[in-house]
């Protein structure tokens, strides 16, 4: 299993300067390769990443003399990354997915990073020896033991990190679970996650807490940029011609650094919360059921986009995917159209009139009063058991119809539903339902 440990670095001023120049080299070579690729493709040719690399190696010292001061990995790996990007693009087109062509990278608007091959660096406790600059202090030692595959040095705000990828033996990669339960997880905005046990977990919502400071620092930087434009002779609010570079004052540089640090802090709080939640779910349960949310479609709602981004639904799904493998838990992803909120978790009656603002409702068939999120979590939980309710027909008028879909592979011990209700008679039999393993 491949695992990556991201470690913060403590470089000297000279080492940080080299990191910045190496990241700029990688960005420059990427843009050169992408430009050549587009030219060859427009001329009817069939570009190849390795052919572009060979051509670049023949002219690089004449084209960019300063590249002699950079280690070769910083200007060799972008070709492999570009080839992989185009392969992914064409594969997505063939599969009918939404695809985007590789784009040019602009300084200040892309992630600063560069790659180092596994035979070009060495780890020694709390330090890493990198080519050209020697030993760089790390905040901690590498946690994993195994074959080192490579490393990527990157920058977040004003801090530098190294992400070391390791091929870890399965015995070390797998973690021991502390529980063997089954849980359904309903993600939402009122509560970040509602479990089928009835527990409601609130998100820290770091963006909402820091929004005032974020606006102040953004406004300060914007005003300094406008002042620089006026000093350079441009009209107020005018767009700069392509390639124009304004002089950067010390105060403007400090303002940009403060804004970047605040953005990094917001992201770190969100990631920390998601890591703790996903680890807990996978460590305490043998089966976890979540929904296949259309996050991109949800972000199209202007009124909810900010709140959805502040919770981090997409990050939750990604982390659940690989942590379930490490803890040996079974991850079940309910179909996007499964009506988990509309179905009564006791009798299966479908509430067609339920709207987004209805947080509670009472089933007219069995009289059970439901909390919307807890009911959805209970219905999700049943998808991982043999007591799953039948799939509600999308065009039904309140009833439930069995859909002809594949059943979940594997078996999980039937349990009581998480809202404290005993399974209704006749629901213990195995039924087919919509779900897909991640």
pLDDT in tens, 79-125: 999 999 999 999 999 998 888 899 999 988 899 999 999 999 999 99
pLDDT at 388 over 80: no
Q: Is 64 exposed, middle or buried (0-12, 13-18, 19+ CB in 10 A)?
A: middle
Residue 246 DSSP SS3: coil
Q: How many other CB atoms are there within 10 angstroms of residue 324's CB atom?
A: 22
pLDDT at 272 over 80: yes
186 is catalytic: yes
Q: For residue 124, what pLDDT is reported?
A: 94
- Residues 133-150 have pLDDT tens digits of 999 999 999 999 999 999
Percentage of residues in the chain having pLDDT higher than 70? 88
Active-site entry in 73, 112, 186, 310: 186
Q: For residue 303, what pLDDT is reported?
A: 87
| C-alpha–C-alpha distance, residues 13 and 22, integer Å | 14
Distances (CA, A) of 160 to 70, 137, 264: 18, 11, 12
pLDDT at 406 over 90: no
Percentage of residues in the chain having pLDDT higher than 90? 65
Structure tokens belonging to residue 1: 């299993």
pLDDT band at 216 (very low <50, low <70, confident <90, very high): very high
Predicted model pTM: 0.82
Active-site entry in 73, 112, 310, 373: 373
| C-alpha–C-alpha distance, residues 285 and 181, integer Å | 4
Structure tokens belonging to residue 379: 């219905």
Average pLDDT for 208-232: 94
pLDDT at 371 over 60: yes
Structure tokens belonging to residue 37: 């690729």
Active-site entry in 140, 291, 302, 360: 291
pLDDT band at 386 (very low <50, low <70, confident <90, very high): low
Average pLDDT for 405-429: 35
pLDDT band at 345 (very low <50, low <70, confident <90, very high): confident
Q: What proportions of the chain, in percent to the nearest 5, are helix, strand and coil?
A: 40, 20, 40
pLDDT at 2 over 70: yes
Q: Where do runs of H (alpha helix) occur along 118-249?
A: 170-173, 206-231
Q: For residue 195, what pLDDT is reported?
A: 94
How confident is the prediction for the chain on average, in pLDDT?
86
pLDDT at 76 over 70: yes
Left if phi > 0, otherwise alpha if psi is -120 to 50, otherwise beta: which for 2? beta
Closest CA to 343 of 405, 419, 286, 287: 419
- Residues 14-42 have pLDDT tens digits of 999 999 999 999 999 999 999 999 999 99
373 is catalytic: yes
Report the range of poorest mean pLDDT among 111-115, 124-128, 168-172.
168-172
360 is catalytic: no
């Amino acid at each position: 299993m491949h695992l990556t440990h991201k470690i913060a670095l403590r470089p000297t001023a000279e080492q940080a300067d080299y990191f910045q120049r190496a990241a700029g080299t990688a960005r420059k070579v990427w843009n050169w390769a992408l430009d050549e690729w587009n030219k060859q493709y427009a001329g009817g040719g069939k570009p190849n990443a390795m052919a572009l690399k060979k051509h670049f190696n023949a002219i690089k010292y004449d084209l960019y003399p300063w590249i002699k001061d950079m280690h070769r990995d910083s200007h060799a790996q972008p070709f492999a990354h570009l080839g992989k990007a185009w392969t992914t693009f064409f594969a997505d087109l063939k599969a009918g997915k939404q695809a985007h062509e590789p784009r040019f990278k602009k300084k200040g608007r892309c992630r600063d990073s560069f790659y180092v091959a596994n035979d070009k660096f060495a780890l020694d406790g709390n330090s890493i020896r990198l080519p050209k600059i020697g030993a760089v202090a790390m905040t901690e030692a590498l946690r994993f033991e195994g074959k080192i595959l490579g490393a990527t040095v990157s920058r977040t705000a004003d801090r530098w990190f190294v992400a070391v990828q390791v091929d870890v033996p399965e015995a070390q990669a797998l973690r021991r679970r502390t529980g063997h339960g089954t849980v359904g997880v309903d993600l939402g905005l009122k509560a970040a996650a509602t479990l089928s046990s009835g527990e409601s977990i609130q998100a820290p919502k770091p963006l909402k807490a820091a929004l005032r400071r974020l606006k102040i620092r953004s406004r300060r930087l914007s005003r300094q940029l406008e002042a620089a434009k006026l000093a350079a002779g441009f009209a107020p609010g005018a767009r700069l011609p392509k390639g124009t570079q304004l002089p950067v004052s010390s105060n403007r540089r400090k303002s940009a650094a403060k804004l970047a640090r605040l953005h990094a802090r917001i992201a770190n709080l969100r990631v920390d919360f998601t890591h703790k939640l996903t680890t807990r779910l996978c460590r305490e349960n043998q089966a976890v059921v979540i929904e296949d949310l259309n996050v991109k479609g949800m972000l199209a709602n202007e009124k909810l986009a900010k709140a959805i981004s502040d919770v981090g639904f997409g990050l939750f799904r990604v982390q659940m995917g690989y942590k379930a493998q490490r803890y040996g838990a079974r991850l079940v992803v309910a179909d996007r159209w499964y009506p988990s909120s509309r179905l009564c978790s006791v009798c299966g009656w479908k509430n067609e009139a339920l709207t987004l603002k209805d947080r509670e409702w009472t089933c007219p068939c069995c009289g059970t009063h439901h909390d919307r999120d807890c009911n959805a979590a209970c219905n999700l939980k049943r998808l991982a058991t043999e007591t799953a309710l039948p799939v509600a027909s999308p065009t039904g008028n309140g009833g439930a119809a069995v859909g002809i879909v594949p059943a979940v592979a594997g078996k999980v011990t039937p349990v009581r539903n998480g809202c404290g209700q005993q399974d209704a008679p006749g629901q213990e039999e195995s039924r087919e339902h919509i779900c897909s393993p991640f």
